[in-house]
Amino acid sequence: MSFDPLYVFVFAGLFSPGPNVILLTTSGARFGFGRSLPHVFGVAIGVGITSALTGFGIGALLLAQPALTFALKCLAAAWILWMAWKLFCSTRGPQTQGRDRPFTFLEAVLFQWVNPKIWAIAMAASSGYAIGLPPAQEALRLGSAFSGINLFVCLFWSFAGSLLAALMTRQVWWRWFMTIMALALAASAVMVFL
């Protein structure tokens, strides 16, 4: 059995900064590693579902329907900008209780449907790294590769965020951290249209 280059592509695509990395790092910093685990698992499952759909040709269908694609891009950008605004306005510092909370499992799963980075990576993987399997097997191959690799990526970033929280001992550092993360998330909304 030979090594599948799909794994390297998926790891590089998912590990690099994007909406999930920003949100998971921020969640780990604000809420701790343990409270961020539903978010982590939701992202891993949601990414697997989204990428599996590209194995069935959903990505090609979206590309063939420019009006639908544009509507989904507008929805994605609006949701990402709303989350960036919430981050920017959020309470500065770690949260053990109160109104702020990490993503739920379902929220994290659903976010992958409008996450432009995941769709771009999944469509590139399904077109560039397909090995000629029937659609159901290709979908299973893509979904399991994306979910399995992304689970470790998500665990890494949320844990890194929790470690970062220990270093931010002053309120001004939290303010800068949250502002930078909110601006980075807002900038990723622009990427939806590129």
Q: What local confidence, expressed as pLDDT, does residue 190 receive?
A: 82
Q: What local confidence, expressed as pLDDT, does residue 98 receive?
A: 56
Q: What are the helix (H) ranges across 17-170?
A: 19-31, 37-55, 58-64, 66-89, 105-111, 116-128, 135-167
pLDDT in tens, 100-146: 889 999 999 999 988 888 988 998 888 888 888 898 999 999 999 99
Say what the alpha-carbon torsion angle 184, 108, 145, 116 is, to the nearest 10 degrees: -40
Distance CA 38, CA 27 (A): 11
Q: What local confidence, expressed as pLDDT, does residue 163 receive?
A: 95
Q: What local confidence, expressed as pLDDT, does residue 93 receive?
A: 63
- What does the mean pLDDT of the chain come to? 89
**pTM for the full predicted model:** 0.87
pLDDT in tens, 140-176: 999 999 999 999 999 999 999 999 998 888 888 888 9
Q: What local confidence, expressed as pLDDT, does residue 61 receive?
A: 76
Distance CA 102, CA 122 (A): 26
Q: What local confidence, expressed as pLDDT, does residue 76 receive?
A: 83
The token duo for 118 is 């995941």
Q: What local confidence, expressed as pLDDT, does residue 97 receive?
A: 52
pLDDT in tens, 29-70: 999 999 999 999 999 999 999 999 998 888 777 778 888 878
Q: What local confidence, expressed as pLDDT, does residue 75 receive?
A: 85
From the CA atom positions of the chain, what is the Rg in Å?
A: 17
Of the candidates 28, 52, 55, 58, the one whose C-alpha atom is nearest the C-alpha of residue 40 is 28
pLDDT-derived band at 99 (thresholds 50, 70, 90) equals low
